[in-house]
Amino acid sequence: MGLFMKHMAFVDLSINPFMESEIPSDIGKLVKLQHLTLHTNNFNGTLPNTSVANCVNLERLELQNNGFHGDFPIKLWSLPKIKVIRAENNRFSGEIPDSISTSSQLEQVQIDNNSFIGKIPHGLGMVKSLYRFSTSLNGLYGELLLNFCDSPVMSIINFSHSYITGEIPELKQCKKLVSLSLADNNFIDEFQFSIEVQRVPEGSRERKS
């Protein structure tokens, strides 16, 4: 990388007919990098864990629709400013760590159609800024946690085509949820719907003339 790149904050190389390429191992030198957008290309190889961890200002990471493989860097989940992680349609592996709970600004996670394994992290419901979490077509297993949608802005959850078992918890805390996909799992028992209707106080109703 040339010295001029050390000061770059935005890199967008999306939707290009690149030959098969890898992310350079010295990407961590881009200490001011905020947005890294490489989606819909022929990138492959692995993500260097230690180098990516140096991108402490990274807010948006878009790697979807490539050929990346290997373990997804654990430190990416807890970068202090990360807001968007999109890595769907690759061959990433590894687990989603409980340290995701420290990602105080994380808003959107889409890692569908990869080879992630492990249980849904306990810290998921602690990320109060998270509105979309989508991990379909991976190897997640275990049970849904009671706090899996405790984020006050959680709107879209997709755990479909996984190996999740047990019962589906009540959704009383899912105030903003508009889309929930749990298809093709191993849930047992019956699903209890609970619909809350917000009533308008009598005194606030408009009177007819």
pLDDT at residue number 54: 83
Instruction: Reduce the DSSP state of residue 94 to 3 states and report it.
Output: strand
Q: Name the pLDDT band for 197 (thresholds 50, 70, 90).
A: very low
pLDDT at residue number 200: 46
pLDDT at residue number 51: 75
Residue 204 has, within 13 A of its CA and on its CB side, a CA count of 3
pLDDT at residue number 30: 86
Q: Name the pLDDT band for 110 (thresholds 50, 70, 90).
A: very high
Q: Name the pLDDT band for 155 (thresholds 50, 70, 90).
A: very high
Structure tokens at 121: 């992290």
Q: For the chain, what percent of residues have pLDDT higher than 90? A: 61
Amino acid at the residue 90: N
d(CA 37, CA 60): 8
For the chain, the structural domain boundaries read 3-201
Looking at per-residue confidence, does 52 or 71 come out higher? 71
Residue 194 predicted with pLDDT over 70: no
67-64-120 Cα angle (round to 5): 100
Which among 95, 92, 42 has a CA at the least distance from the CA of 65?
A: 42
pLDDT at residue number 198: 46
Which among 118, 125, 116 has a CA at the least distance from the CA of 145?
A: 125
Residue 205 predicted with pLDDT over 90: no
d(CA 9, CA 134): 27
pLDDT at residue number 31: 86
Question: pTM here?
Answer: 0.87
Q: Strand pairing partners for 163? A: 141
pLDDT at residue number 58: 95
pLDDT at residue number 67: 94
Among 41-45, 135-139, 174-178, name the most confident range.
Answer: 135-139
Structure tokens at 143: 């049970």
Q: What is the CA radius of gyration of the chain?
A: 20
Which is it for strands 84-86 and 108-110: parallel, antiparallel or unpaired? parallel
Structure tokens at 86: 């999109």
Looking at per-residue confidence, does 18 or 11 come out higher? 11
pLDDT at residue number 199: 46
Section 49-72 average pLDDT: 90
What is the third-level CATH fold of 3-201? 3.80.10
Q: What is the pLDDT of residues 111-143, one digit of tens each?
A: 999 999 999 999 898 999 999 999 999 999 999
Residue 167 predicted with pLDDT over 60: yes
